[in-house]
Structure 1
């Protein structure tokens, strides 16, 4: 039950799901308004850049999705196995949802620190479910598990996605001075 609920909670758009945590971080950040606005822009820049890096990586590595590996693999294949959610029609590695998670965690941490007072989050793909979080990493860890519980990603794809997203966000944060030069 908990695994299915988690898979359903994180099924939708990562961008949509990270909107509320971004609002929470903005409201709780001690940074001046201008700095908070820059971090909002940096989050969106990092998310777009992670999408590019994800697509490039997926077609460089061409890793099987779990459904293909389980149904047709060489070790104990199960032709009847079905994932909880429909498997996307592109390679597994790295997980795009989790590149978003890694990038968002990195920017939210820069904005408001690693931990926060408890906040609630709902999901349009899990009506009636409310989750409570106290750190940005909790969101990431749960998203990793959700993609595995859905049966649409391997753990290595999810973990690589988080790492890739964090690296992209770190680059965006390091490069912010060039992005926000006065005109």
Structure 2
């Protein structure tokens, strides 16, 4: 399997560290309502619950604004009665109602934000009708997702077989979200539509190469991992789906898009992130692959003469409690990058997670860095990364090519290219502008 150019990538990221765009200021209630309510959602909805809510809220805002404009673009939910009105009013009312329903513990905060948001608009028929439109679309969205399987109880027990997922140290926590692969997607046809192809067989040379690679570079005491790679692993170690939502908000907050353009972009990001995680969890529990820490400590059981067990091996960062294949960071990074580059110009960017700040010279560099950080941290194989990047690219291309959220139904503009097992590239529609491939 082809590997990332280990000389070129750290150089690219070190170059990125020289770029230092100003930090994005907090979005105020007087700013664009789509941006303000997305920030409020990210600040108040727990990370594990944010994914579904993010998609629902942004669809409801988009459909509400679109309705007040006479359905300029294709809606997500058709046939919802509405009273027209001011688009911004409809958006904030829809956002409020979705958040209040899905996260009632913060309803007082949402009520206060609604009052402050609506105060930005003059009283009158436009305001009254906008409120009614937002209420109608929020209610329709809540009905639409009422039985989507997000809260289903699904039993999962590790198989105990070689190659099968096993609970990982240090916490040995129960596997997370086994039901998520059965959740009804938002725009993709089914959780299986973009399921990754099988990982390498345990007895293959490709598997042995991948195991030996992560064994060397991902161990807690690795002598080959660079300081920048260690910093990347630690920077991304606490990231989750909500992190990618926040990155999308930080990157677009100063783009000067209209409220309708923001609503369309965030509806795409919301559905894309949700559909990517649904596809991911379908893939993860379908193949049920063990994490590197389990694979390395038990390499004497894999039937591969090219691997050696190390019972004391530990990864730099702790593995999340779910199967290894494929990497969520890889798929989410590629998907978000694809949708952003379909709507805005490429750019250098910095972001902070906790006490750590990291900078990149391009949006593509964000996805490459995030995906490779999981290998450097010792919690993913290289093929987890590569398959995740491919999955995210496919889903991004699919989402932006749908009739939903677009003015005119377009033919699918996505394609996946793999040369050997390592080159991933895609081309996305981007208002006449070429988009650079992401490769891993």
If the TM-score is normalised by the length of the shorter chain, which range does it land in?
A: 0.7 to 0.9
Matched residue, 2:371: 144
Matched residue, 1:119: 349
**TM superposition shift of 1:21:** 4.4
- Calculate the TM-score normalised by the size of structure 2: 0.37
Query: Could you tell me which of 317, 333, 337 is aligned with 1:105?
Result: 337
**TM superposition shift of 1:32:** 4.0
Following TM superposition, the consecutive aligned residue runs of length 4 or more in structure 1 with deviations greater than 6 angstroms are: none
**TM superposition shift of 1:101:** 0.6
What's the C-alpha RMSD, in Å, of the aligned pairs? 2.0
Q: CA 1:60–1:15 in 2, change beyond 3 Å: closer, same or farther?
A: closer
- Calculate the TM-score normalised by the size of structure 1: 0.85
Query: Could you tell me which of 61, 67, 91 is aligned with 2:323?
Result: 91
1:3 matched to 2:221: no
1:48 matched to 2:280: no
Partner of 1:10, secondary structure, is: helix
Counterpart contact for 2:264–2:405, Cα < 8 Å: no
Please give the per-residue CA displacement for 1:26-82, whole angstroms capped at 9, x wherever unaligned: 5236x5431232111111111101111011111222222111111111321101001
Q: CA 1:50–1:20 in 2, change beyond 3 Å: closer, same or farther?
A: closer
Partner of 1:47, secondary structure, is: helix
Counterpart contact for 1:26–1:111, Cα < 8 Å: no
How far apart are the structure 1 equivalents of 2:341 and 2:388? 18
Matched residue, 2:362: 135
Greater percentage in strand: 1
Q: Structure 1 regions of 5+ residues with no counterpart?
A: none
Partner of 1:161, secondary structure, is: helix
**TM superposition shift of 1:5:** 1.2
> Larger radius of gyration, structure 1 or 2?
2
Counterpart contact for 1:14–1:100, Cα < 8 Å: no
How far apart are the structure 2 equivalents of 1:156 and 1:94? 8
Q: CA 1:20–1:89 in 2, change beyond 3 Å: closer, same or farther?
A: closer
Q: Structure 2 regions of 5+ residues with no counterpart?
A: 1-226, 301-306, 408-440
Please give the per-residue CA displacement for 1:123-142, whole angstroms capped at 9, x wherever unaligned: 12xx1x32222311100111
Aligned residues: 174
